[in-house]
Structure 1
C-alpha cells in the first residue's frame, strides 16, 4: 500500500484547523439554550419517513439529516415522543428544543419559531381511492375529507365549498378512516402518505399532487414549499448552525442519498420554488434556497 506523505507544516495546519473546529463547536454549544446542556431534545411524532427513533438513533429523512448535523455540532440526541398537535407549543414552552419531520415553513410559523434552511421541498396532494384519483380543489367539494390537527393549510381547506372536515392526531388514523369508507379523501403529509401507500399496495390508494396551484389557496396547492426544523426564537444561534449543517448536506447532495432510502426520489423534492418567498421575511433579501444540482 502506498502511503501519502504530508509535510510537517501541512500536518500542523490540519491539526490546528481540527482544533479550531472543535473549539468553535464547543463555544457554540455553550451558547445554545437547551433543555439539557449538550443534549438536543427532539419532538418525535412517530410518522415515517419523517423523523423517528430506531436503536437509539434518529432515522427517517429528516431524522438522518438531524442526526448527522447534531453529531457535527457535538450534541447528543434525546427523543421526546408526543402528538403533532402539541409539538409547536412544546418548543415554545421549553419542553423540547426542536421539531422536525415534514414540518412546513409558513410565514406565521416564522413569527413564532426560528426555522432552519429547508431539508426538502414538496407539494401537497389528495389521498383517495385509486378509482377516484382526486387532484383538484373542485374534487373535494361536498365531500368528507380528513386531515391532521395543527396543519397550516387547514383554514384554506375549510374554505372549500361544502367540504366536511374531520381532524386526526396522526396520518395512520386518517388512512384507517378512508379505508373504512368513513371519509372520501385525506390531505396530509405527502412523504408520510406516499411511504405508507408504497408499503401497502393492497390499499389501492393514490396520493396525487394538487394540479390547481391556486393563488387563493397557496398553502394548500402551492408547489416548492419547504420542510424545515423549528426551534425557539431564543435558540437562534443553534438554528443558524443547523442551517449551515443542512446546507453542507445540500452541497454534497447527501440529502438526496438519504431521501432515496425512503422512496423520496422525485427531482421536484430537491428543487426550490421559483418564488423565493422567505427572502426578506425570515431570511436576508439576498438569501437563496439550497438545491442539489447533481
Structure 2
C-alpha cells in the first residue's frame, strides 16, 4: 500500500513539475504582443488573393507579384522580417484575419466606417478616384455634369453605375471594364465611369487605346492595411514603415511600375 501511495505522490509531483515548467512559456505567449510574436518568428503573415491583377497575381512563371505584394514585402523588410503570403479568396479573407490565419491583409482593402468598428487601419497606400472616361475625340463631355442624357457602360450593380445614374446618364449594362471600353471605342456608348486605377492598368496594357480620362472625382477611396483591433504597436510599426517607404520614394516607384502613375499619394 505504501508503494502505491509513494508511486501516486511521485506521479503527482511529476505532473506539477511539468505544469510549472510549462506555465511561464504560456504566460510569455499570452503577454507578448502580435508585433513581438512576428519579430520572434521572423515572419509577417499576409493574407492576399493572388488573383487580382495588378495588385496581387501570378506572373507567367507562377510567381506571386503585384503592387500590394511588393508593398507588403517592403513593409516586412522595414519590420526586420520576411513576408509570407497566404492566398485566400476575397469572400473569406476578412474571416481569415479574424481567425488569425494571417497578421495583416494586403489586397486593396478600402477604409470604411463599418470596417473601422472592428479593425484598425494603417495609413493609406493607395488613393483611387472615380474616372469619367470617354473616347479621345469626344469634346462634349468634360465633367461629371455633362453626362446627363448620355449612355454610360457600367456593371449594373456597381457603385460607378450609381454615380453615372445620379448624374443623369442612361446605363448600358456590361460584364466588366474590358467590355465597357469596347462599347466606348465602337461609339455604342458615350462614356464609362470606373476607378482611375482600372483605367491606368488598361492603358498600360493597351497604350494605343483611343480613350481618355475627361474628369476625376474630387474624393478618393483610400485603401490600407487592416489589423485586428488591440494591436496598436503593430499598426504604428506599419505606419512608420509606410512613412519611410514614401519618403524614400519606394511607394512612388512601385506605383509607377504597375500603373505608370503615382497612386500612392492623394491628388494635390
- Please, what TM-score do these two structures have when normalized by structure 1? 0.59
Matched, 1:145 2:153: yes
Note the C-alpha offset of 1:204: 0.9
In structure 2, which of residues 30, 47, 60 is the aligned counterpart of residue 41 of structure 1? 47
Other-structure match for 2:168 = 161
Choose the corresponding residue for 2:197, options 191, 195, 198. Answer: 191
The change in CA–CA distance for 1:29 and 1:166 in structure 2 (over 3 A counts) is farther
Contact 2:183/2:189 (<8 A) preserved: yes
Post-superposition Cα deviations, 1:40-72, rounded to whole Å, max 9, x if no partner, equal: 221234222x33334565533333111221344
* Partners of 1:47 and 1:192 within 8 A in 2: no
Contact 1:224 1:271 (C-alpha < 8 Å) held by counterparts: no
Cα displacement string for residues 109-168 of structure 1 (whole angstroms, at most 9, x for unaligned residues): 4345433211143432112221226442223323233159665x6654442224326364
Q: 1:120 to 1:25 in 2, by over 3 A?
A: same
Give 1:245 deviation, angstroms: 1.8
Which structure shows the higher helix fraction? 2
Instruction: Give 2:93's aligned residue.
Output: 91
2:68–2:106 contact (8 Å) kept in structure 1: yes
Aligned residue number for residue 7 of structure 1: none
1:181 and 1:164, CA in 2 relative to 1: closer, same or farther beyond 3 A? same
Tell me, yes or no, if the aligned pair for 1:104 and 1:225 is still in contact at 8 Å: yes
How many residue pairs end up in the alignment?
Answer: 228
Higher-Rg member (1/2): 2
Corresponding residue for residue 253 of structure 1: 249
The more displaced of 118-127 and 53-62 is 53-62
Q: Secondary structure at the match of 2:72?
A: helix
Question: Could you say if the C-alpha distance between residues 100 and 206 of structure 1 is closer, same or farther in structure 2, counting changes exceeding 3 Å?
Answer: farther
Change (3 A) 1:28 1:240: farther
Which residue of structure 1 lines up, in the alignment, with residue 224 of structure 2?
A: 228
Change (3 A) 1:201 1:191: same
Post-superposition offset of 1:249: 0.4
> Closer, same or farther in 2 for the Cα pair 1:174/1:75, shift >3 Å?
farther
| Residue 112 to residue 145, structure 1, CA distance change in 2 (3 Å) | farther
Residues 49 and 107 of structure 2 are in contact (CA less than 8 Å); yes or no, is this contact kept in structure 1? Answer: no
TM-score (norm 2): 0.64
| Cα deviation code 1:2-38 (max 9, x no counterpart) | xxxxxxxxxxxxxxxxxxxxx9987242899xxxx95
Task: Provide the rounded CA distance (Å) in 2 between the counterparts of 1:180 and 1:109.
Answer: 40
1:52 match: 57
Q: What's the secondary structure of 2:53's corresponding residue?
A: coil
Preserved CA contact (<8 Å) 1:105 1:228: yes
Q: Distance in 1 between matches of 2:174 and 2:233?
A: 35
Matched, 1:27 2:33: no
Point out 4+ residue stretches in structure 1 off by more than 6 angstroms: 23-26
Ranges in structure 1 where 5+ consecutive residues have no aligned partner: 1-22, 211-220, 275-294
